[in-house]
Amino acid sequence: MESAAVLCTLLSYVRGFDHIPLLVRAYETIRRERTEFLHQMEATNVTQCMFPPGLERTARDAEIQQLLQGKWDNNAKMGLWGQIVKIWTYDAFDAADDWWVEWGMLRERALSLQNPNMEIPGRRLEVNVCAQTNFVPEFLCS
């Protein structure tokens, strides 16, 4: 779902065929960072949750008990729960919009300096999708 949200948000900025390769590279950049983070978190969780009985499991359990029973310490709690918060508070639409504001519009402005007549897109392209099976877009017919 996150990937679809990033891709549809980025593609809403398409103004011509020349934009598509740029936005696909942006998609890869945004998703690569996120998926690497999620993969690392999952690998860490599996490793820590699957400790066999022994010293590692006992040490893990003792550390969690100490954190939960002690005085509330935001830094310690964020160490324990911060990664989970980062997973669940991620907004894929915002990630794509942030990329556009930081890099996409910068590119558009740079291109407009080379071509003063170029219009800089300031708003998203609205796209309507229909489910007709015999539908062929007009640009493919020419």
Does pTM top 0.85 for this prediction?
no
Q: What is the pLDDT, as a whole number, of residue 35?
A: 93
What pLDDT digit, counting tens, does each position of 74-124 carry? 666 666 677 888 888 899 999 999 999 888 887 777 776 676 665 655 555
CB-based contact 120:112 (threshold 8 Å): yes
Mean pLDDT to the nearest integer, 27-36: 94
15-27: per-residue pLDDT in tens? 888 888 999 999 9
Provide CB contacts within 8 A for 128, sequence distance 6+.
Answer: none
Look at residue 83 in the predicted model and tell me its pLDDT: 80
**Residue 128 pLDDT > 70:** no
CA nearest to 34, candidates 91, 74, 115, 116 = 91
Q: What pLDDT does residue 27 have?
A: 95
